[in-house]
Amino acid sequence: MMLLPHVTPEMLLADFWLARAPDPDAPLLDAAALAALSARTVEVCGVPPVLDLPDEMPAAEVRAALPKIPADARHAVDGSPLTGDYWAVLHDRMALETLPASVPVRFGVTLREAPVRALPTLRPALREPGDLAFDRLQETTVDAGWPLAVLHTSADGRWAFAVTPHYRGWLETRHVAFASREEARAFAAAEPFLLAVAPWADAALADGDRAGLILQMGSRLPLRGTDGRLWRMAIPAADGQGRLVAADGWAVSAVAGWREGFLPPTLRSVFGQAFAALGEPYAWGGRRLARRGRDCSRFVRDVWACVGVDLPRNSGQQAHMGRTAVRFEPDEPHDARLRKLAVAPPGALLFLPGHVMLYLGIADGIPYAIHDLWNYAHPEGHVTTAAQVVVSALPPEPSALRHTLLERLTHIQVLGGSSG
């Protein structure tokens, strides 16, 4: 694990920060607040709940929902430019001319963790040659057991354009088991359920073609029972016609990767989940080439998902969740910024352009956060590549470039009821 400036080894433990919090076991949210946040997420994302979609949608509405080619997707992994001919091939693959006037909506469940793409291809598209860690076509990932609605398939049948929870994009059809709306809802929202609380929780199964399954923190699967030693869960699988069936999966109940139901919505739970991922490699959109992982906003989303909070996927959308506790002016001096941070409660979300952090609190007059970070900007002007979940100071020293985390803060959002 990385030790950045002002960070000491004991600061890498959740207990260090929980001991400084006024009441880490007090509920941050009640049932009404959780429901209000979920409704706000739908409003902020602009994507209707998957299982509330109609049975049919107008073709024009489906076309309008398709992701556009990112303006900064300019280069292949070998540095060569992606030309109009390349994009034309992808356009033809989408086969949009085959959309009927009224598009049938097909519901289903995802079979495993899978990338969601802006276009129907796994080939990366980079902003600059050599910028391999940031594939501009990588939108996010879905996990096993998530509901989705397929609106269209590619000409070769390999790709599906789908609505997933709070997101739209293309994923390979091999990751989908089709089901009725009711079947998908029964699986995705089953009670009781097992929750993945490890950064990556694994389960054993034997459904004919898989020996195991890995779920990302915050995802859930139906709980079928326990014998006191093993959890028995339902694993999504597909029959010969691609329809959803449930296979048996098992996990050792004494292992901390799973639990029944959500964690209590307390600061202790939130910090515990955040520190469980400390040191995990950074992965833009959930994938860095073949590496699975999280970026800054997925880290925040998965941590809060474990206490039942349904947040948007992207930091720009998360910035509109909860209540605004503090706003910063662009040229605000350091001492004023530090005073404002002092009134923010631990667990608040700190925002700067394109980035989100989970606020830990102040130690020896210095504010700290835990976050999934690519580059750390030092006040002296140089940059350290972190590329992992880190605890970092918001450096109190001013920089000539005004590029440190503290200097770039725009506002603070609070999800819970505490005002600090």
Token pair recorded at residue 241: 């016609």
pLDDT at site 80:
96
3-state secondary structure of 360: strand
Distance CA 21, CA 416 (A): 14
Q: Which one, of 108, 118, 87, 100, lies nearest residue 59 by Cα?
A: 100
β partners of residue 415: none
pLDDT at site 209:
64
pLDDT at site 417:
61
Q: Does the pLDDT at position 210 exceed 80? A: no
Distance of CA 111 to the CA centre of its chain: 18
Q: Which one, of 351, 299, 303, 300, lies nearest residue 325 by Cα?
A: 351
pLDDT at site 418:
43
Which pTM was predicted?
0.96
Question: How many percent of the chain have pLDDT more than 90?
Answer: 90
pLDDT at site 109:
98
pLDDT at site 398:
87
Distance CA 367, CA 359 (A): 8
Domain-wise residue ranges, the chain: 9-29+265-414, 47-174, 190-260
Q: Does the pLDDT at position 168 exceed 70? A: yes
Task: Name the CATH code of domain 9-29+265-414 (choices 3.90.1720.10, 3.40.50.300, 3.90.1150.10, 3.40.640.10).
Answer: 3.90.1720.10
Token pair recorded at residue 214: 């890995």
Q: Where are the alpha helices (DSSP H) in 166-291?
A: 181-188, 267-276
Distance CA 235, CA 222 (A): 8
pLDDT at site 208:
58
Q: Does the pLDDT at position 100 exceed 70? A: yes
Give the torsion through C-alpha atoms of 336, 337, 338, 342, to 10 deg. 100
Contacts of 153 by beta carbon, 8 Å cutoff, 6+ apart = 95, 159, 160, 161, 173
| Residue 396: pLDDT band with limits 50, 70, 90 | confident
Torsion sign, CA atoms 184, 185, 191, 193: positive
pLDDT averaged over every residue in the chain? 95
**What's 294's DSSP letter?**
B
pLDDT at site 256:
81
Helix axes 267-276, 296-305, angle to 10 degrees: 130
Contacts of 149 by beta carbon, 8 Å cutoff, 6+ apart = 50, 51, 53, 105, 106, 107, 108, 162, 163
Q: Which CATH architecture has domain 190-260?
A: Roll (2.30)
Tens-place pLDDT, residues 179-188: 999 999 999 9
Contacts of 259 by beta carbon, 8 Å cutoff, 6+ apart = 194, 195, 197
**End-to-end Cα spacing for the chain:** 30
Token pair recorded at residue 408: 């770039």
Tens-place pLDDT, residues 317-341: 999 999 999 999 998 998 999 999 9
Tens-place pLDDT, residues 251-284: 998 888 999 999 999 999 999 999 999 999 999 9
C-beta atoms surrounding 100 within 10 Å: 11
Tens-place pLDDT, residues 353-389: 999 999 999 999 999 999 999 999 999 989 999 999 9
Q: What would the 3-class secondary structure string for 105-133 be?
A: CEEEEECCCEEEECCCCCCCCECCCCCCC
Tens-place pLDDT, residues 109-163: 999 999 999 999 999 999 999 999 999 999 999 999 999 999 999 999 999 999 9
Distance CA 367, CA 11 (A): 12
Task: Judge whether 270 and 28 are in contact, CB under 8 Å.
Answer: yes
pLDDT at site 420:
37
